[in-house]
Amino acid sequence: DTGVSQDPRHKITKRGQNVTFRCDPISEHNRLYWYRQTLGQGPEFLTYFQNEAQLEKSRLLSDRFSAERPKGSFSTLEIQRTEQGDSAMYLCASSPLVDGYTFGSGTRLTVV
């Protein structure tokens, strides 16, 4: 296990389409986080899981966004009816219970 993997690396989609991103965390890490980053800004928290339980969601996570971690391993983040404002880098990170984060390389979403 060499780190956190995210797929795809890049996604271009038309406005109104649905997209799904995948994150594979470091296998022994209990916690998995999703962040969104726009140009020139620091990452903004979206949601996190401890094992399969989604423990916190940001108000940034509108009802068009849903995240799952069905077996406490990989996670998916789905955006329905994408809007141009959803264009950003979506970052996944994992960590042991209370410790530093390891980030993936991110998925860059462009909504045209």
Partner 1 sequence: KQEVTQIPAALSVPEGENLVLNCSFTDSAIYNLQWFRQDPGKGLTSLLLIQSSQREQTSGRLNASLDKSSGRSTLYIAASQPGDSATYLCAVSGNQFYFGTGTSLTVIP
Kindly determine how many residues on this chain lie close enough to bind partner 1 according to the rule CB under 8 A: 25
Residue from 1, 16, 51, 56 in contact with partner 1 (CB under 8 A): 56
Residue from 14, 28, 71, 98 in contact with partner 1 (CB under 8 A): 98
CA distance 90 to 72: 20
Number of Cα atoms under 13 Å in the Cβ half of residue 108? 5
- Beta bridge partners, 68, equal 76
CB atoms within 10 A of CB 33: 23
Shortest distance (Å) from residue 99 CB to partner 1: 7
CA distance 17 to 4: 26
Residue from 11, 86, 106, 109 in contact with partner 1 (CB under 8 A): 106
Residue from 12, 52, 99, 112 in contact with partner 1 (CB under 8 A): 99
Residue 89, token pair as written in the block: 């880098």
Q: Which residues contact 69 (CB under 8 A, 6 or more apart)?
A: 32, 49, 51, 52, 54, 75, 76
Of the ranges 17-25, 40-48, 61-69, 73-81, which one interacts with partner 1 (CB under 8 A)? 40-48
Nearer of residues 80 and 101 to partner 1, judged by Cβ = 101
Q: Which residues bind partner 1 (CB under 8 A)?
A: 6, 33, 35, 40-45, 48, 55-56, 89, 91, 93, 98-106, 108
